[in-house]
Amino acid sequence: TSLAFDSNTATLVIGHSDAGISLYSTDSNNVIGTFSESEGLDSDRIRDIATRFGIAYIATEDAGVMRIDLSTPEIIGSWQSLGVDNLDTAPVAVDGEVIYLGLPGLGILLIDRLTSDIVDLWTPDDPNGIPDEDVNTLALDFFGGLLVGSEVQNTGANSNGGLARWDGSNWQLLPTSIPGWNNDPFEFYDVSSDANGVYAGTNRGACMWNWPDPNNPQSQFTLEDCWTTGGNGGGGGGGDGMPSRFVIAVDPIGPDLLYAGTTEGAAVINTSNGTVVEVWTAGDDTERARAHKYLDTLYLGFENLGIARFNLTSGNWLPSWDGSQGILEDDDVTVLIEGREEGTMWAGGDFGLTLIDLVNGTVLVQWDRGNNQDGPTLPNYSPAEILIVDNLMYYSPQRANPWNTRDEVSRINLDNNTSLPSIDAGARLGFNGVVHGMNQIGDEVWISVVETSGWGGSGDPGTILRWNTTSGDWEDDLQTIGDVGRVNAQYLGDCFPLNASCELWVAYGEDILRRFSVPNMTLLNQWDDVDGRIRGMVEFQGEYLFASMNGVLRWDPINQTWLSSWLPGDGLPQDSELDFYSMKVVGNDLWAASGYGDDGHVMRLSGNNSNWTVWDVDTNDIPDGYGADIVLCQDIVHIAVGFSAWQWWAVGGGIARFDLSDHDGDGVTEEWITPITEDNSNMVDRDARALACDEQNEILYVGFDTDNVGIDRFDYSSNNFLDTLTPEMGVSEDPVFPGGMLFDEDLLLVAHFDGEGGITRVLTSGTSATSGQVIGQGMDSCSIVRAPTAARSYAIGRSGDLSGINRVDRLDATGLIEGGFDELVGLPSGVVHEMISNGTHVWVTVGSSEYSYLASTVLQGEILDNGSVFWQYGFEAFTESINEILLVDEEIWASTVGNGLLSFNLTQRSFQPTPP
C-alpha cells in the first residue's frame, strides 16, 4: 500500500494492506526484516509510511502512528489517541525528567521530558493501582512525593481515595473521614504542602493533614482540620467565616498561614490555632457594576453596596456612598452616568434618581420613584439605563420576569424638570413587551424590545426600534432574521464535473434563500420571504424542487423563474400534507415524506408516468413518526423515521425499507420489506433521523436524535448490526441533525446539533473504523454535501440559532474553514443588551432568550444612508458571558462574567481572550 526510503540507513520500508511491513536494504538488496502483529506491531493494516533520520512512521487504520527504529531495527512505540478529548482540566506535575499529566476519566500519563516518549499510563487497572481515574489535581510535595487529588464516591470510608500520595513505590491514601453526616471531602480541586503538612481544596472546605512521624515507621497521615462554612470541621476549627465550602485553590503563604480561594471569595487561615483570620468577598451578587470616572476617582455602582470609590492615583479605596452616608437613600444602584455639568454624576436605583456634585460630595437633585413635588414623575421601577440627549433624559425600566411588561421609556426635560410623554416601545410593535437595552446611536435612541412570555411560551422575538430625537418620532425598525435553526446547502445543476450551470442554493431558517453561481460564487438571487424551512432540494425532470413547510416549491433553471408550487390536490396527491420533511430522487422517481404521525405519508412520484403513490406511516411497513431522511442503499430505499413521544409506551421510529430489486429473495421486487426497529433488532435507539450508505461495503450508517448513543452500522452482507460507533470511540455524544450524514469514499461525516454541535469525522475501511474526531464544536451543524471542487471538499451548513451568525463552512485537507462558502449575519431578535457606535458602524451584543442578561455574540453592522444596518460579521464568545462592550481604536473590548476580558480585533477579525 505504501513505500518510503530512509537514506540514513539505506532502507526501503514497504507497507502491506493487511500484513504489516517489510524492510528492504538497498545496500544488500535483501529483505532484512518483517514486522506484523505477531512481532509486536499494534496493527497489520498499513495506510501510509514516512521516514525521517532513521525512524519509520507508519500510519494505520486503527492503531495511530506506529514507529520503528530502522538502525536496530526495533519497534519503539506507537502514537495513539488515548480517547480523552475536550477536557476541562489536565493537571501537570514535573519531577526531573518525568512529566505527570493528569487526564480526568483515564488516569495519569507519564512522559519522558527529554524524549517526549510516553513512559507509562497509570490507571486503576494498572499494577501500581492508582486509586481513582478522575484526576483533578497533581503536585510534588515538600518531601518529593506525588500528591494526587481526584473526584471519588462519597463512601464514608476512613480513606475514600480522593487524596493519595505516591512515594515512588507505594500509594498512601490520606484519611478523609470527618464526624457527622455528609462532612467527608470527596472532590479535590487543588493540593499543596509545606514542612507542616499537606493542604487540599475540596468540596468540604480547605483541609490540612499532618505528616507522619519520620521516627515512627508505623505512623500515618492524620487529618488536622477542614475549614468550611457549615461547622463540624473535624479538628475544632469549625470553619466559621469561610466564604464558601467549595475551595478551589490552596497555597501556604507564610508560617502557619494558608491562603484558600473559594467560589465566593478568599480567606487566610491560621493553621496553628485553626482560625480564619481574613476574608475577602466580592460583596455584590449582580455580576455587574456600573462605572464612571471623574478626574482620578473611579465610581462603581453596585446593587447592594451603594457607590464604591477608588482613587486611581493613590491606589486606595475611599469611603463608599451608601444609604448611611447621606448621599443616597438606598444601597441599590443600577445606573451611573455623567451629568450635563462637569463634575456631576447621575445615579439611579431603588431610590429613584440622584444628581451628585462629585467635587464637593453633595446632592444637587433627588427624585424618588413616583411623583415628585416640583419635579418629574418617575416610573415605579428602578432604571436599567438612563441617557441624556441634549436637554432630555431617557429612562428605561429595570426588567423583572419575562412575563412582566416593561416596555415604556420615560422622558424628562432637564431644563424645567418636567415629565414628557413616554415612548411606548411595545405599542410600536403591537404587543406588551420588555426592554432589554437602550443607547444613543447618532441622533437616535435605539431600544431593543421583545414580547412578554406567558404560559404559551416565548412571544414575538422583537427587534431594535429607532427613535428620532430630533423629530420626536419613530424611524423604521431594524429587520431581523429570527432563529435560523437550519442551514441547508445543496448543489443543483451540472456540478460533477463542474459546469457553468452549477449552482449552490442555501436556505437559512424560515425565510431566506440564496442562489449562487458556483464557478465564481456570485450571488445570483436572495429571497427573504420563502416558505421555509427548506428540508430538501433536488433536481427532477429539469426543475429544481424544494421541500418546504408549504408544499413543494419549484424553480425553472432555464427561464430562471419560480413556477407555481405543488400543493395538496394541485401537483400533490389530495391527501398529502403541506409540511415536507425530506425529499430525494431515486433513479427516475421522486421520493418525499410529509406530515407526522397520523397525518404522515411517504410518497413516490413516478418519473415514467407522473403518477403519485402514497403510503401512510404507522403501518406494518412504515413505523409511526415522520420521514426525516431518505437514502438508497443496496437497491433499497431507506426512510429514517423520526419519533419522539413523552409516553414511554408509545411505539414508533426506525427505518422503513422499500425493496427495488428483491433483496429478501421472495421473488418480488418493488415492495416494502420488514422495517428495522428497536423492537425487532439491536438498533441502539428508535429515533432515527439521518442515514448514509457505503455501497461498496454494504453498510448503512444510522444517526439518531438522542444523546450519547453514537452511530449505528447495519451490515447488509450479514444482515446484522455491527458494533455501534460510540462516544467512547470519539464520536460526538450530541444528537445527529436530520439528514445530516454523508459517506464519501472512505469518510463518514456526521452533523450534530444541540449541546456542543460540530461534525464527527470517521475514516473507515470496510467494517473497520478509526477513532472519531469532532471538529467545529460550538455551533450546530446541519446539511453536509460533497462540493464540486478540484480537491476533495465538503460544504457544511452551520446554524447559529439565535446568535445572528450562520454559515456554510468548507471542509478540505487544510481543515474546517469558517464561512468558506457563505455566511449570513443578521440581527436575530430584540434580545440585545448593549449597543455602541462610532458614527459609521454599530456593534450590538446578542443574548439567546428572553431570560438573558448576558450575551454570547457581538455583531458588527454598517449604518446605511437610510438608517438601516448592513450586518457584516460577528464574533462569538461561545458562552453567554458578555456583559458590556467598549470601542477603543480598532478593537472591541468586552467585559464578561467568569471569562475575563475579551477583545475583538476589527481589522483582523480575530478574537483574543484574557484569562480571568
Residue 385: CA atoms inside 13 Å, Cβ hemisphere, count? 22
Instruction: Give residue 85's pLDDT.
Output: 62
Secondary structure (3-state) at 242:
coil
| CB 633, CB 658: distance < 8 Å | no
Lowest mean pLDDT among 275-284, 545-554, 806-815: 275-284
* Arithmetic mean of pLDDT, 855-860: 95
Mean pLDDT of the chain: 92
Contact 882, 856 (CB under 8 A): yes
Task: Please state whether the predicted TM-score (pTM) of the whole model is above 0.85.
Answer: no
- The pLDDT of residue 172 is 93
**More confident site: 324 or 778:** 778
Q: Of all residues in the chain, what percent are helix, strand and coil, respectively (each to 5)?
A: 0, 50, 45
Band of pLDDT at residue 722, cut at 50, 70 and 90: very high
The pLDDT of residue 236: 39
For the stretch 561-572, pLDDT in tens is 999 999 999 999
Contact assessment for residue 396 and residue 408, using Cβ atoms and an 8 Å cutoff:
no
d(CA 10, CA 738): 54
Q: Which secondary structure element, helix H or strand E, spans residue 874, and what is its range?
A: strand 869-876
Q: Minimal CA–CA distance to 505: which of 899, 795, 872, 87? A: 795
The dihedrals phi and psi of 701, each to the nearest 5 degrees, come to -95, 140
For residue 483, what pLDDT band results from cuts at 50, 70 and 90? very high
Q: Residue 288: which pLDDT band, with cuts at 50, 70 and 90?
A: low
Q: Is the pLDDT of residue 503 over 50?
A: yes
Residue the block writes with cell 493487511: 18
Tell me what pLDDT residue 76 has.
86
Q: Quick check: 86 pLDDT over 70?
A: no
How high is the pLDDT of residue 487? 98
Q: Please say if the pLDDT value at position 21 is more than 80.
A: yes
Would you state the pLDDT for residue 911?
Answer: 80
Highest mean pLDDT among 272-281, 748-757, 767-776: 748-757
Q: Does the pLDDT of residue 493 top 50, yes or no?
A: yes
Q: Tell whether the model's pLDDT for residue 831 goes beyond 80.
A: yes
Give the strand pairing for 882-888 and 891-896.
antiparallel
**Are 33 and 44 contacting, i.e. CB atoms less than 8 angstroms apart?**
no
CA distances from 552 to 433, 537, 567, 582, 641 (A): 36, 10, 7, 11, 20
- 83 pLDDT exceeds 70? no
Q: What is the mean pLDDT of residues 624-633?
A: 98
Asked whether the beta carbons of 37 and 43 are under 8 A apart, the reply is: yes
What pLDDT sits at residue 234? 38
- Comparing 452-456, 612-616, 879-883, the range with the smallest average pLDDT is 452-456
pLDDT at 861 exceeding the cut of 60:
yes
Q: What is the mean pLDDT of residues 697-706?
A: 98
What is the arithmetic mean of pLDDT over 890-899? 88
Query: Which candidate, 698, 735, 730, 727, places its Cα nearest to that of 713?
Result: 698
Q: Label residue 279 exposed, middle or buried (CB < 10 Å: 0-12, 13-18, 19+).
A: middle
Q: Which of 745, 765, 652 is nearest to 692 (CA)?
A: 745
Q: Which of 821, 823, 725 is nearest to 774 (CA)?
A: 725
pLDDT (tens digit per residue) in 348-387: 999 999 999 999 999 999 999 999 998 999 999 999 999 9
Mean pLDDT score, 451-475: 92
Measured CA distances, 660 to 70, 83, 582, 592, 669 (Å): 55, 41, 19, 16, 5
Per-residue pLDDT tens digits for 197-210: 999 999 999 999 99
Query: What is the structure's pLDDT at 45?
Result: 86
What average pLDDT score do residues 707-721 get?
A: 96
pLDDT value of residue 373: 92
- According to the model, what pLDDT value does residue 478 have? 97
Higher pLDDT, 218 or 503: 503
pLDDT of 499 above 70: yes
Model confidence at 115, pLDDT cuts 50, 70, 90, reads: confident
> Among residues 879, 880, 906, which one has the least CA distance to residue 892?
906
pLDDT for the residue 233:
38
Calculate mean pLDDT across residues 518-547.
Answer: 96
Dihedral angle, C-alpha 891, 894, 900, 905, nearest 10 °? -20
Share of the chain above pLDDT 90, in %: 75
Instruction: Say yes or no to pLDDT of 235 above 50.
Output: no
Across residues 298-325, what is the average pLDDT?
90
Interval 435-441 mean pLDDT: 97
Spatial strand order in the sheet of 473-475: 433-441, 444-451, 463-468, 473-475
Q: At 426, which helix (H) or strand (E)?
A: helix 425-429
Q: Is the preceding omega at residue 243 within 30 degrees of 0, hence cis?
A: no
High-pLDDT (> 70) share of the chain, %: 97
- The number of residues making up the chain comes to 916
| Cα distances (Å, whole numbers) of residue 311 to 294, 298, 338 | 10, 6, 18
| Closest by Cα among 706, 672, 673 to 688 | 706
47-51, 119-123, 230-234, 503-507: which is most confident: 503-507
Mean pLDDT (whole number) for 778-799: 96
User: Per residue in 885-916, is it b (16+ CB within 10 Å) or e — as a string?
Assistant: beeeeebbebbbbebeebbbebeeeebeeeee
On the question of pLDDT at 308 being above 80, the answer is: yes
Q: Do residues 750 and 690 lie in contact, with contact meaning Cβ atoms separated by under 8 Å?
A: yes
Q: What region, left, alpha or beta, does residue 728 occupy, with left being phi > 0 and alpha being psi -120 to 50 degrees?
A: alpha
Of 286-295, 491-500, 704-713, 725-734, which range is least confident? 286-295
How confident is the model at residue 38, as a pLDDT?
87
Distance CA 540, CA 545 (A): 7
Contact 657, 674 (CB under 8 A): yes
| 676: its cell numbers | 428495522
CB 617, CB 628: distance < 8 Å:
no
Phi, psi of 736 (to 5 degrees): -95, 135
pLDDT at 237: 39
Residue 915: its pLDDT value, please? 62
CA atoms within 13 A on the CB side of 276: 27
What confidence score (pLDDT) does residue 650 get? Answer: 87
Q: Which residue, among 618, 622, 633, 653, has the nearest Cα to 714 in the 3D structure?
A: 633
Q: Which residues of 771-782 are buried (b: 16+ CB within 10 A; e: fewer)?
A: bbbbbbbebbbb
Report which residue type is found at 443. Answer: D
Neighbours of 450 (CB within 10 A): 28
**Residue indicated by cell numbers 519520620:** 214
* Cα separation values, 404 from 369, 399, 438, 448, 454, Å: 18, 8, 18, 16, 9
How many alpha carbons lie under 13 Å from residue 331 in its C-beta half-sphere? 8
Show the cell assigned to 31.
529483505
Residue 65 identity = V
Least confident of 112-126, 394-408, 540-554: 112-126
pLDDT in tens, 240-278: 678 888 999 999 998 899 999 998 888 999 999 999 988
Q: How many CA atoms lie less than 13 Å away from 835 in the CB half-sphere? A: 27
Residue 192 Cα to chain centre, angstroms: 33
| pLDDT for 774 | 96
Q: How far is CA 278 from CA 242, 243, 804, in A?
A: 9, 10, 46
Rounded-to-integer distance, Cα 365 and Cα 362, Å: 9
Residue 9 has pLDDT above 50, yes or no: yes
Residue 682's Cβ-count burial label (10 Å; 0-12, 13-18, 19+) is exposed
Higher-scoring residue by pLDDT: 95, 238: 95
Residue labelled with grid coordinates 437595552: 437
